[in-house]
Chains A and B, each alone.
Chain A
Protein backbone atom coordinates (compact mmCIF):
# COMPACT_ATOMS: atom_id res chain seq x y z
CA UNK A 1 0.00 0.00 0.00
CA UNK A 2 1.22 3.43 -0.91
CA UNK A 3 2.45 5.61 1.89
CA UNK A 4 -0.08 8.34 2.46
CA UNK A 5 2.63 11.01 2.52
CA UNK A 6 4.62 9.72 -0.41
CA UNK A 7 4.46 12.01 -3.43
CA UNK A 8 2.64 10.45 -6.34
CA UNK A 9 3.57 12.35 -9.50
CA UNK A 10 1.36 10.14 -11.66
CA UNK A 11 -1.73 11.20 -9.73
CA UNK A 12 -0.69 14.87 -9.86
CA UNK A 13 -0.23 14.46 -13.59
CA UNK A 14 -3.69 12.95 -13.91
CA UNK A 15 -5.15 16.08 -12.28
CA UNK A 16 -3.25 18.33 -14.70
CA UNK A 17 -4.36 16.28 -17.71
CA UNK A 18 -7.98 16.26 -16.59
CA UNK A 19 -8.25 20.04 -16.80
CA UNK A 20 -6.06 21.18 -13.92
CA UNK A 21 -3.29 22.61 -16.05
CA UNK A 22 -2.88 25.61 -13.73
CA UNK A 23 -2.25 23.40 -10.67
CA UNK A 24 1.51 23.89 -10.60
CA UNK A 25 1.30 27.67 -10.85
CA UNK A 26 0.36 27.77 -7.17
CA UNK A 27 3.10 29.21 -4.96
CA UNK A 28 1.27 28.59 -1.69
CA UNK A 29 0.55 32.19 -0.68
CA UNK A 30 -2.68 31.23 1.07
CA UNK A 31 -4.91 33.93 -0.43
CA UNK A 32 -7.40 31.15 -1.22
CA UNK A 33 -7.59 29.97 2.38
CA UNK A 34 -7.99 33.53 3.63
CA UNK A 35 -10.84 34.12 1.16
CA UNK A 36 -12.74 30.89 1.78
CA UNK A 37 -16.13 31.33 3.53
CA UNK A 38 -16.22 27.63 4.29
CA UNK A 39 -12.78 27.75 5.86
CA UNK A 40 -14.16 30.22 8.41
CA UNK A 41 -16.44 27.48 9.68
CA UNK A 42 -14.41 24.32 9.13
CA UNK A 43 -10.90 22.94 9.16
CA UNK A 44 -10.87 22.98 5.36
CA UNK A 45 -7.79 24.79 4.09
CA UNK A 46 -7.80 25.43 0.36
CA UNK A 47 -4.07 26.09 0.15
CA UNK A 48 -3.29 22.76 1.79
CA UNK A 49 -5.59 20.88 -0.56
CA UNK A 50 -3.87 22.43 -3.57
CA UNK A 51 -0.45 21.53 -2.12
CA UNK A 52 -1.57 17.96 -1.59
CA UNK A 53 -2.81 17.90 -5.17
CA UNK A 54 0.55 19.16 -6.44
CA UNK A 55 2.22 16.33 -4.56
CA UNK A 56 -0.36 13.84 -5.77
CA UNK A 57 -1.28 12.71 -2.25
CA UNK A 58 -4.17 10.68 -3.54
CA UNK A 59 -4.90 8.63 -0.43
CA UNK A 60 -4.89 11.77 1.64
CA UNK A 61 -7.25 13.67 -0.65
CA UNK A 62 -9.88 11.34 -2.04
CA UNK A 63 -11.46 9.93 1.14
CA UNK A 64 -11.42 13.25 3.00
CA UNK A 65 -14.50 15.23 4.04
CA UNK A 66 -12.56 18.44 3.43
CA UNK A 67 -12.77 17.85 -0.30
CA UNK A 68 -16.52 18.39 -0.03
CA UNK A 69 -16.49 21.57 2.08
CA UNK A 70 -16.11 23.88 -0.94
CA UNK A 71 -19.36 25.56 -2.04
CA UNK A 72 -17.80 26.41 -5.45
CA UNK A 73 -18.16 30.13 -4.71
CA UNK A 74 -15.08 30.99 -6.81
CA UNK A 75 -13.89 33.72 -4.41
CA UNK A 76 -10.46 32.07 -4.21
CA UNK A 77 -10.29 31.85 -8.00
CA UNK A 78 -11.05 35.57 -8.31
CA UNK A 79 -8.29 36.46 -5.86
CA UNK A 80 -5.59 33.94 -6.75
CA UNK A 81 -2.52 35.93 -7.84
CA UNK A 82 -1.36 32.99 -9.94
CA UNK A 83 -4.55 32.32 -11.84
CA UNK A 84 -4.99 28.80 -10.50
CA UNK A 85 -8.37 27.32 -11.41
CA UNK A 86 -8.87 26.21 -7.83
CA UNK A 87 -12.58 25.42 -8.01
CA UNK A 88 -12.17 23.41 -11.21
CA UNK A 89 -9.33 21.47 -9.61
CA UNK A 90 -11.48 20.70 -6.57
CA UNK A 91 -14.22 19.41 -8.86
CA UNK A 92 -11.74 17.25 -10.77
CA UNK A 93 -10.62 15.76 -7.46
CA UNK A 94 -14.25 15.15 -6.48
CA UNK A 95 -14.80 13.34 -9.79
CA UNK A 96 -11.85 11.09 -8.92
CA UNK A 97 -13.19 10.52 -5.41
CA UNK A 98 -16.62 9.51 -6.72
CA UNK A 99 -14.99 7.13 -9.21
CA UNK A 100 -13.18 5.48 -6.31
CA UNK A 101 -16.47 5.05 -4.49
CA UNK A 102 -16.28 8.01 -2.11
CA UNK A 103 -19.75 9.50 -2.43
CA UNK A 104 -22.07 10.53 0.42
CA UNK A 105 -25.47 8.79 0.54
CA UNK A 106 -27.17 12.18 0.51
CA UNK A 107 -25.36 13.02 -2.72
CA UNK A 108 -26.32 9.66 -4.21
CA UNK A 109 -29.93 10.58 -3.53
CA UNK A 110 -29.62 13.95 -5.29
CA UNK A 111 -27.90 12.27 -8.22
CA UNK A 112 -30.51 9.56 -8.44
CA UNK A 113 -33.39 12.09 -8.32
CA UNK A 114 -31.71 13.98 -11.14
CA UNK A 115 -31.25 10.83 -13.17
CA UNK A 116 -34.68 9.33 -12.65
CA UNK A 117 -36.90 12.43 -12.80
CA UNK A 118 -34.84 15.00 -14.67
CA UNK A 119 -34.69 17.24 -11.61
CA UNK A 120 -32.67 17.19 -8.40
CA UNK A 121 -35.84 17.42 -6.30
CA UNK A 122 -39.27 15.82 -6.73
CA UNK A 123 -42.53 17.56 -7.64
CA UNK A 124 -44.94 17.02 -4.76
CA UNK A 125 -48.70 17.60 -4.50
CA UNK A 126 -48.14 20.70 -2.39
CA UNK A 127 -46.31 22.45 -5.20
CA UNK A 128 -48.47 20.93 -7.92
CA UNK A 129 -51.43 22.63 -6.23
CA UNK A 130 -49.61 25.91 -5.82
CA UNK A 131 -48.65 25.88 -9.50
CA UNK A 132 -52.27 25.27 -10.43
CA UNK A 133 -53.38 28.13 -8.20
CA UNK A 134 -50.86 30.41 -9.89
CA UNK A 135 -52.26 29.55 -13.29
CA UNK A 136 -49.11 27.91 -14.62
CA UNK A 137 -49.03 24.29 -15.83
CA UNK A 138 -49.38 21.90 -12.87
CA UNK A 139 -46.45 20.02 -14.29
CA UNK A 140 -43.64 22.29 -15.54
CA UNK A 141 -42.98 21.86 -19.29
CA UNK A 142 -39.65 20.14 -18.62
CA UNK A 143 -38.52 16.51 -18.64
CA UNK A 144 -41.30 15.93 -16.10
CA UNK A 145 -44.23 14.23 -17.73
CA UNK A 146 -42.49 14.19 -21.11
CA UNK A 147 -41.90 10.47 -21.71
CA UNK A 148 -39.64 10.87 -24.73
CA UNK A 149 -37.52 13.57 -23.07
CA UNK A 150 -37.14 11.49 -19.91
CA UNK A 151 -36.16 8.45 -21.93
CA UNK A 152 -33.47 10.48 -23.73
CA UNK A 153 -32.36 11.99 -20.44
CA UNK A 154 -31.83 8.58 -18.85
CA UNK A 155 -30.24 7.14 -21.96
CA UNK A 156 -27.50 9.78 -21.81
CA UNK A 157 -26.64 8.65 -18.30
CA UNK A 158 -26.60 5.01 -19.30
CA UNK A 159 -24.07 5.89 -21.98
CA UNK A 160 -21.88 7.98 -19.66
CA UNK A 161 -22.13 5.29 -16.99
CA UNK A 162 -23.61 7.69 -14.45
CA UNK A 163 -26.22 5.12 -13.42
CA UNK A 164 -23.50 2.68 -12.39
CA UNK A 165 -21.31 5.41 -10.94
CA UNK A 166 -23.91 6.42 -8.38
CA UNK A 167 -24.97 2.84 -7.77
CA UNK A 168 -28.53 3.56 -8.86
CA UNK A 169 -30.92 1.69 -11.12
Chain B
Protein backbone atom coordinates (compact mmCIF):
# COMPACT_ATOMS: atom_id res chain seq x y z
CA UNK B 1 0.00 0.00 0.00
CA UNK B 2 2.77 2.32 1.01
CA UNK B 3 4.62 1.56 -2.18
CA UNK B 4 1.55 2.26 -4.20
CA UNK B 5 1.21 5.65 -2.52
CA UNK B 6 4.80 6.47 -3.31
CA UNK B 7 4.32 5.73 -7.00
CA UNK B 8 1.15 7.81 -7.05
CA UNK B 9 3.08 10.66 -5.49
CA UNK B 10 5.81 10.36 -8.09
CA UNK B 11 3.27 10.33 -10.86
CA UNK B 12 1.71 13.48 -9.45
CA UNK B 13 5.08 15.25 -9.39
CA UNK B 14 5.91 14.41 -12.99
CA UNK B 15 2.41 15.48 -14.04
CA UNK B 16 3.04 18.83 -12.39
CA UNK B 17 6.32 19.19 -14.27
CA UNK B 18 4.52 18.52 -17.55
CA UNK B 19 1.81 20.95 -16.50
CA UNK B 20 4.27 23.79 -17.01
CA UNK B 21 3.76 26.10 -19.94
CA UNK B 22 4.80 24.26 -23.09
CA UNK B 23 6.73 25.91 -25.91
CA UNK B 24 3.57 25.93 -28.00
CA UNK B 25 1.73 27.84 -25.25
CA UNK B 26 4.55 30.35 -25.15
CA UNK B 27 4.38 30.86 -28.89
CA UNK B 28 0.58 31.15 -28.76
CA UNK B 29 0.93 33.84 -26.09
CA UNK B 30 3.51 35.70 -28.16
CA UNK B 31 1.24 35.57 -31.21
CA UNK B 32 -1.74 36.82 -29.23
CA UNK B 33 0.34 39.82 -28.14
CA UNK B 34 1.35 40.53 -31.72
CA UNK B 35 -2.08 39.92 -33.22
CA UNK B 36 -3.36 43.17 -31.76
CA UNK B 37 -1.08 45.10 -34.07
CA UNK B 38 -0.84 42.65 -36.96
CA UNK B 39 1.05 44.47 -39.75
CA UNK B 40 -1.07 42.43 -42.20
CA UNK B 41 -3.53 45.30 -41.73
CA UNK B 42 -1.14 47.55 -43.65
CA UNK B 43 -1.24 45.10 -46.56
CA UNK B 44 -5.03 44.86 -46.28
CA UNK B 45 -5.34 48.62 -46.65
CA UNK B 46 -2.94 48.58 -49.59
CA UNK B 47 -4.84 45.70 -51.21
CA UNK B 48 -8.18 47.45 -50.92
CA UNK B 49 -6.66 50.53 -52.54
CA UNK B 50 -5.21 48.45 -55.36
CA UNK B 51 -8.56 46.76 -55.99
CA UNK B 52 -10.32 50.10 -56.47
CA UNK B 53 -7.50 51.93 -58.20
CA UNK B 54 -7.44 52.29 -61.99
CA UNK B 55 -4.20 50.62 -63.04
CA UNK B 56 -2.42 48.79 -65.82
CA UNK B 57 -2.18 49.46 -69.57
CA UNK B 58 -5.99 49.60 -69.83
CA UNK B 59 -6.28 51.88 -66.80
CA UNK B 60 -9.19 50.09 -65.13
CA UNK B 61 -9.82 48.88 -61.59
CA UNK B 62 -10.34 45.26 -60.54
CA UNK B 63 -13.86 45.96 -59.28
CA UNK B 64 -15.37 43.85 -62.09
CA UNK B 65 -13.11 40.88 -61.29
CA UNK B 66 -15.02 37.61 -60.87
CA UNK B 67 -13.56 35.62 -57.99
CA UNK B 68 -16.16 32.90 -58.31
CA UNK B 69 -19.20 34.54 -56.75
CA UNK B 70 -19.90 36.92 -59.64
CA UNK B 71 -18.14 40.06 -60.91
CA UNK B 72 -16.99 42.28 -58.06
CA UNK B 73 -18.16 40.01 -55.22
CA UNK B 74 -15.32 39.80 -52.72
CA UNK B 75 -16.94 38.79 -49.45
CA UNK B 76 -16.97 35.03 -49.06
CA UNK B 77 -14.91 34.43 -52.21
CA UNK B 78 -11.77 33.41 -50.31
CA UNK B 79 -13.36 30.48 -48.46
CA UNK B 80 -14.56 28.97 -51.77
CA UNK B 81 -11.24 29.06 -53.60
CA UNK B 82 -9.66 27.30 -55.49
CA UNK B 83 -12.60 26.54 -57.78
CA UNK B 84 -13.43 25.92 -61.43
CA UNK B 85 -13.76 28.97 -63.70
CA UNK B 86 -15.65 28.56 -66.94
CA UNK B 87 -13.97 31.49 -68.71
CA UNK B 88 -10.42 30.19 -68.29
CA UNK B 89 -11.52 26.52 -68.25
CA UNK B 90 -9.26 25.98 -65.27
CA UNK B 91 -9.38 25.40 -61.56
CA UNK B 92 -7.75 28.50 -60.11
CA UNK B 93 -6.67 29.62 -56.67
CA UNK B 94 -6.96 33.18 -55.40
CA UNK B 95 -3.59 34.34 -56.67
CA UNK B 96 -3.82 32.80 -60.15
CA UNK B 97 -7.37 34.11 -60.49
CA UNK B 98 -6.16 37.60 -59.60
CA UNK B 99 -3.48 37.33 -62.28
CA UNK B 100 -6.22 36.41 -64.79
CA UNK B 101 -8.20 39.51 -63.79
CA UNK B 102 -5.11 41.71 -63.99
CA UNK B 103 -4.51 40.31 -67.46
CA UNK B 104 -8.03 40.46 -68.90
CA UNK B 105 -9.31 43.60 -67.17
CA UNK B 106 -6.21 45.71 -66.66
CA UNK B 107 -4.07 44.48 -69.55
CA UNK B 108 -1.06 43.35 -67.49
CA UNK B 109 1.15 40.58 -68.83
CA UNK B 110 0.19 37.58 -66.70
CA UNK B 111 3.21 35.50 -67.67
CA UNK B 112 5.52 38.34 -66.66
CA UNK B 113 3.81 38.60 -63.25
CA UNK B 114 4.16 34.83 -62.76
CA UNK B 115 7.89 35.12 -63.48
CA UNK B 116 8.43 38.04 -61.08
CA UNK B 117 10.11 36.94 -57.84
CA UNK B 118 7.91 37.02 -54.73
CA UNK B 119 7.84 40.36 -52.94
CA UNK B 120 8.89 42.37 -56.00
CA UNK B 121 6.87 44.61 -58.32
CA UNK B 122 3.42 43.30 -59.22
CA UNK B 123 3.93 40.17 -57.07
CA UNK B 124 3.99 42.48 -54.07
CA UNK B 125 0.71 44.04 -55.21
CA UNK B 126 -0.75 40.60 -55.79
CA UNK B 127 0.04 39.60 -52.19
CA UNK B 128 -1.58 42.79 -50.89
CA UNK B 129 -4.70 42.13 -52.98
CA UNK B 130 -4.87 38.52 -51.76
CA UNK B 131 -4.47 39.74 -48.17
CA UNK B 132 -7.39 42.13 -48.47
CA UNK B 133 -9.63 39.60 -50.23
CA UNK B 134 -8.85 36.98 -47.56
CA UNK B 135 -9.57 39.54 -44.83
CA UNK B 136 -13.02 40.20 -46.32
CA UNK B 137 -13.91 36.56 -45.53
CA UNK B 138 -12.44 36.54 -42.03
CA UNK B 139 -14.51 34.43 -39.65
CA UNK B 140 -16.28 32.59 -42.46
CA UNK B 141 -15.98 28.83 -42.87
CA UNK B 142 -14.27 26.98 -45.70
CA UNK B 143 -16.65 25.45 -48.18
CA UNK B 144 -14.88 24.69 -51.45
CA UNK B 145 -17.15 23.63 -54.30
CA UNK B 146 -16.60 20.06 -55.52
CA UNK B 147 -19.46 19.92 -58.00
CA UNK B 148 -17.43 20.18 -61.20
CA UNK B 149 -15.53 17.18 -62.53
CA UNK B 150 -12.32 19.21 -62.79
CA UNK B 151 -12.58 20.24 -59.14
CA UNK B 152 -12.88 16.60 -58.11
CA UNK B 153 -9.96 15.72 -60.37
CA UNK B 154 -7.82 18.50 -58.87
CA UNK B 155 -8.56 17.16 -55.39
CA UNK B 156 -7.27 13.74 -56.42
CA UNK B 157 -4.24 15.31 -58.13
CA UNK B 158 -3.59 17.35 -54.98
CA UNK B 159 -3.71 14.21 -52.88
CA UNK B 160 -1.19 12.52 -55.16
CA UNK B 161 1.11 15.54 -55.02
CA UNK B 162 0.74 15.70 -51.23
CA UNK B 163 1.92 12.13 -50.80
CA UNK B 164 4.49 12.20 -53.62
CA UNK B 165 7.96 11.53 -52.22
CA UNK B 166 11.04 12.80 -53.96
CA UNK B 167 14.03 15.09 -53.83
CA UNK B 168 17.41 14.39 -52.18
CA UNK B 169 15.74 13.81 -48.80
CA UNK B 170 12.90 11.66 -50.14
CA UNK B 171 10.33 13.93 -48.53
CA UNK B 172 6.67 14.44 -49.29
CA UNK B 173 4.28 17.02 -47.85
CA UNK B 174 2.86 14.12 -45.84
CA UNK B 175 6.25 13.46 -44.18
CA UNK B 176 5.62 16.51 -41.96
CA UNK B 177 1.90 17.17 -42.38
CA UNK B 178 0.46 13.66 -42.42
CA UNK B 179 0.16 12.91 -38.71
CA UNK B 180 -1.15 14.59 -35.57
CA UNK B 181 1.16 16.01 -32.92
CA UNK B 182 4.27 16.56 -35.03
CA UNK B 183 6.48 19.58 -34.79
CA UNK B 184 9.51 21.11 -36.45
CA UNK B 185 11.78 22.76 -33.90
CA UNK B 186 9.19 24.58 -31.76
CA UNK B 187 6.44 24.90 -34.36
CA UNK B 188 3.46 22.58 -34.24
CA UNK B 189 2.77 21.06 -37.63
CA UNK B 190 -0.87 20.78 -38.64
CA UNK B 191 -2.11 17.47 -40.02
CA UNK B 192 -3.32 18.59 -43.44
CA UNK B 193 -4.78 15.24 -44.50
CA UNK B 194 -7.92 16.16 -42.54
CA UNK B 195 -9.51 19.29 -41.10
CA UNK B 196 -6.74 20.63 -38.82
CA UNK B 197 -9.15 22.98 -37.00
CA UNK B 198 -10.19 26.63 -37.11
CA UNK B 199 -7.54 29.03 -38.31
CA UNK B 200 -4.85 26.39 -38.78
CA UNK B 201 -3.04 25.49 -41.99
CA UNK B 202 -4.94 26.50 -45.10
CA UNK B 203 -7.23 28.74 -43.02
CA UNK B 204 -4.34 30.94 -41.80
CA UNK B 205 -2.67 32.11 -45.01
CA UNK B 206 -1.98 34.79 -46.27
CA UNK B 207 -0.02 35.59 -43.13
CA UNK B 208 2.51 38.13 -41.91
CA UNK B 209 5.80 36.62 -40.79
CA UNK B 210 7.26 38.63 -37.94
CA UNK B 211 10.70 37.04 -38.23
CA UNK B 212 11.36 38.44 -41.69
CA UNK B 213 8.72 41.18 -41.88
CA UNK B 214 7.15 39.72 -45.01
CA UNK B 215 3.58 39.11 -46.07
CA UNK B 216 3.18 35.63 -47.55
CA UNK B 217 0.38 34.30 -49.73
CA UNK B 218 -0.41 30.61 -50.22
CA UNK B 219 1.75 30.40 -53.35
CA UNK B 220 4.83 31.57 -51.48
CA UNK B 221 3.95 29.36 -48.52
CA UNK B 222 3.91 26.29 -50.81
CA UNK B 223 7.06 27.44 -52.55
CA UNK B 224 8.81 27.52 -49.17
CA UNK B 225 7.50 24.05 -48.27
CA UNK B 226 9.17 22.76 -51.42
CA UNK B 227 12.37 24.63 -50.57
CA UNK B 228 12.41 22.88 -47.19
CA UNK B 229 11.88 19.53 -48.92
CA UNK B 230 14.81 20.40 -51.26
CA UNK B 231 12.50 19.95 -54.23
CA UNK B 232 12.92 22.12 -57.30
CA UNK B 233 10.73 25.22 -56.88
CA UNK B 234 7.25 24.83 -58.36
CA UNK B 235 6.27 27.44 -60.93
CA UNK B 236 4.06 30.27 -59.69
CA UNK B 237 0.43 29.24 -60.07
CA UNK B 238 1.39 25.88 -61.54
CA UNK B 239 -1.20 23.09 -61.51
CA UNK B 240 0.37 21.10 -58.64
CA UNK B 241 0.27 24.19 -56.38
CA UNK B 242 -3.38 24.83 -57.22
CA UNK B 243 -4.17 21.12 -56.77
CA UNK B 244 -2.55 21.21 -53.32
CA UNK B 245 -4.75 24.23 -52.54
CA UNK B 246 -7.84 22.24 -53.54
CA UNK B 247 -6.70 19.26 -51.47
CA UNK B 248 -6.01 21.33 -48.33
CA UNK B 249 -9.05 23.56 -48.85
CA UNK B 250 -11.50 20.69 -49.27
CA UNK B 251 -9.98 18.90 -46.26
CA UNK B 252 -10.43 22.09 -44.22
CA UNK B 253 -14.18 22.19 -44.96
CA UNK B 254 -15.95 23.87 -42.05
CA UNK B 255 -12.76 25.39 -40.60
CA UNK B 256 -12.97 29.06 -39.77
CA UNK B 257 -10.67 31.37 -41.74
CA UNK B 258 -8.54 33.71 -39.64
CA UNK B 259 -6.48 34.93 -42.60
CA UNK B 260 -4.57 37.19 -42.74
CA UNK B 261 -2.91 35.66 -39.70
CA UNK B 262 0.37 36.43 -37.96
CA UNK B 263 3.22 33.94 -37.75
CA UNK B 264 6.39 33.90 -35.68
Q: Check if A and B associate.
A: no
Chain A interface (Cβ < 8 Å from any Cβ of B): none
Chain B interface (Cβ < 8 Å from any Cβ of A): none
